[in-house]
Amino acid sequence: MNPPRTISVEPRPITPLADLVGEERIQELTTTLASVASRARRRTLWQINSTASGGGVAEMLHGLVGYLRDLDVDVRWLVIDGDDGFFDLTKRLHNRAHGAESGPALCEADAAHYEQVSRRNAEQVADLVRPGDLVVLHDPQTAGLAPTLTDLGAIVVWRCHIGSDDRTPVTESVWRFLRPHLSAAHAYVFTRERYRPSFVPDASTWIIPPSIDPFAVKNIDLDPATVDCVLTAAGLLDGSAPDPARTRFTRPDGTTGEITRRATVVAETLPAAGEPLILQVSRWDRLKDMAGVMTAFAEHVAPQQDGCLVLAGPAVDDVSDDPEGAQVYDECRTAWQKLPVALRQRIMLATLPMDDLDENAVMVNALQRHASVVVQKSLAEGFGLTVAEAMWKRRPVVASRLGGIADQIQTGCGLLVDPQDLPAFGKAVRQLLDDPVAADAMGEEAHRHVRRSFLADTQLLHWVRLFDVLLT
């Protein structure tokens, strides 16, 4: 097991956000921060999670840490390690927190192993953290660090990105498991009120919705010609040799990157540039239901409509805290192979290289911008950043009516469906393909809603208000 790794993030200038959200919002953020600054002096803000890439938490931390650095907050990001058994266990906790049975019931051996890995991580983190520092622990993987860090005098917040709208015996088993560790925390942050477990007092609970960074490589504007070139260079779209100037991009540190790697695809043919494309981008996680999207497309979209489906996710060995990725990807590939050739010609599975996270982000950005319809047919979802990302890009979205997705897709911003209802899913996709004018209007409304509620400054303001209370 490796010691915790420091992730370095370039400062991201906050002022350009004002052009998108207005001076007032940025002013409110900086004024609130200024009022906390004297109490925050000589304290470090630690963000601790279990992966630097692949998934919503890592995606968000790159942006938030970057902006906090620009705002002169002494912030550091650590990624803890664990062995295979630990990440298998935390994946079970993750699935269960979403209400899904996963592996055997949680037992004493699991608790002992969790305790052992957490203690080892906590001892190493404790060498870095000083009394009075603020520590934000993300998700079940890091909850076990809370007792050691509070004992040494740090102010500890547990930020939980997952949860279920319903309390069930399966979700309760997670809270019983984590409660001995979590009781030590000073505050708890959830994405939705309904995700708060019963043992967490109301008074220590904060609800903070996630956000996207409009200036991240994942979300910056790309013109249609650049989108085509990026996708062709990445081997995701049929086309002739792309203009090299359009396959270059600017990294957060100002240097230039270029698309040099290609996605690995499972396809009979690549999508053609003019073909309507339906897209889901997700980790290869059973709860994202990539296989279900494929079935719904095959049975309820393809027979009636032109167009192709692309299911894109990270290269399967590259998300360190997600041990099920390879298996779920293999299941999708097997399901694809069993389809008749006429359907295989219209469905592509793509794994996107993760060696260079900015390159990966440009590919996701281009895919989302190229899509006629973006879908997120998750069976459970804490928030679903992919939904906000697509909405920001003015894409019409069809997504599951559950969890944080329902907070994002409000009337006119997209279509919500029951993820088990495949005919309804297909109908919603067809409706958007049939009526591009209505789909465009929906995309515009979606963009406005993300601008109002889910950009980085809004989330930062929530956090600064929480720090204000914790440091009083």
Binding of ligand UDP by 353 (CB under 6 A):
no
Binding of ligand UDP by 47 (CB under 6 A):
no
CB atoms closer than 10 angstroms to residue 446: 27
Q: Which is nearer to ligand UDP, 100 or 111 (CB)?
A: 100
Q: Which is nearer to ligand UDP, 270 or 315 (CB)?
A: 315
What's the distance, Cα to Cα, between the start and end of the chain in Å? 38
Q: Which is nearer to ligand UDP, 314 or 396 (CB)?
A: 314
Q: Could you give the CA distance from residue 161 to residue 209 in angstroms, rounded to a whole number?
A: 9
Q: Which is nearer to ligand UDP, 53 or 148 (CB)?
A: 53
At closest approach, how far in Å is the CB of 67 from ligand UDP? 16
At closest approach, how far in Å is the CB of 116 from ligand UDP? 26
Binding of ligand UDP by 314 (CB under 6 A):
yes
At closest approach, how far in Å is the CB of 360 from ligand UDP? 5
Binding of ligand UDP by 414 (CB under 6 A):
no
Binding of ligand UDP by 328 (CB under 6 A):
no
Q: Which is nearer to ligand UDP, 360 or 372 (CB)?
A: 360
Q: Which is nearer to ligand UDP, 187 or 385 (CB)?
A: 385
Region from 29-37, 51-59, 172-180, 462-470 binding ligand UDP, contact rule CB under 6 A: 51-59
Q: Radius of gyration over alpha carbons of the chain, in Å?
A: 22
Binding of ligand UDP by 379 (CB under 6 A):
no
Alpha carbon distances (Å) from 154 to 21, 49, 157, 404, 468 = 34, 17, 10, 30, 15
Q: Which is nearer to ligand UDP, 364 or 416 (CB)?
A: 364
Binding of ligand UDP by 281 (CB under 6 A):
yes
Q: Could you give the CA distance from residue 226 to residue 232 in angstroms, rounded to a whole number?
A: 10
Which among 193, 216, 214, 161 has a CA at the least distance from the CA of 383?
A: 161
The C-alpha torsion from 336 through 341 and 347 to 353, rounded to 10°, is: 60
Binding of ligand UDP by 389 (CB under 6 A):
yes
Binding of ligand UDP by 283 (CB under 6 A):
yes
One of 30, 171, 386, 458 touching ligand UDP (CB under 6 A)? 386
Q: 414: alpha, beta or left, given left = phi > 0 and alpha = psi -120 to 50?
A: left
Binding of ligand UDP by 313 (CB under 6 A):
yes
Q: Could you give the CA distance from residue 252 to residue 250 in angstroms, rounded to a whole number?
A: 7
Element at 231 (helix H, strand E):
helix 224-233
Binding of ligand UDP by 177 (CB under 6 A):
no
Q: What is the DSSP letter of 212?
A: B
Q: Which is nearer to ligand UDP, 155 or 236 (CB)?
A: 236
At closest approach, how far in Å is the CB of 158 from ligand UDP? 17
At closest approach, how far in Å is the CB of 210 from ligand UDP? 7
Element at 124 (helix H, strand E):
helix 108-126
- Binding-residue pattern over the window 203 to 222 for ligand UDP, x denoting contact by CB under 6 A: ---------------x----
Binding of ligand UDP by 419 (CB under 6 A):
no
CA angle, corner 369, sides to 368 and 373, nearest 5?
A: 65
Which among 204, 194, 193, 272 has a CA at the least distance from the CA of 232?
A: 272
Alpha carbon distances (Å) from 358 to 25, 231, 256, 269, 363 = 28, 14, 10, 27, 9
One of 242, 384, 414, 443 touching ligand UDP (CB under 6 A)? 384
Q: Which is nearer to ligand UDP, 185 or 385 (CB)?
A: 385
At closest approach, how far in Å is the CB of 458 from ligand UDP? 16
Q: How many residues bind ligand UDP (CB under 6 A)?
A: 19
At closest approach, how far in Å is the CB of 190 from ligand UDP? 14
Q: Could you give the CA distance from residue 4 to residue 256 in angstroms, rounded to a whole number?
A: 29
Q: Could you give the CA distance from residue 188 to residue 466 in angstroms, rounded to a whole number?
A: 10
Using DSSP's 3-state secondary structure scheme, residue 266 falls into strand
Handedness of CA 135, 215, 51, 95 (dihedral sign): positive
Residue type, 85: G
At closest approach, how far in Å is the CB of 36 from ligand UDP? 28
One of 9, 46, 48, 55 touching ligand UDP (CB under 6 A)? 55
Which among 33, 451, 6, 461 has a CA at the least distance from the CA of 213?
A: 451
Region from 19-27, 271-279, 360-368, 430-438 binding ligand UDP, contact rule CB under 6 A: 360-368
Closest residue to ligand UDP in the complex (CB): 56
Write out the residues near ligand UDP by the rule CB under 6 A: 55-57, 59, 218, 281, 283, 312-314, 352, 360-361, 364, 383-386, 389
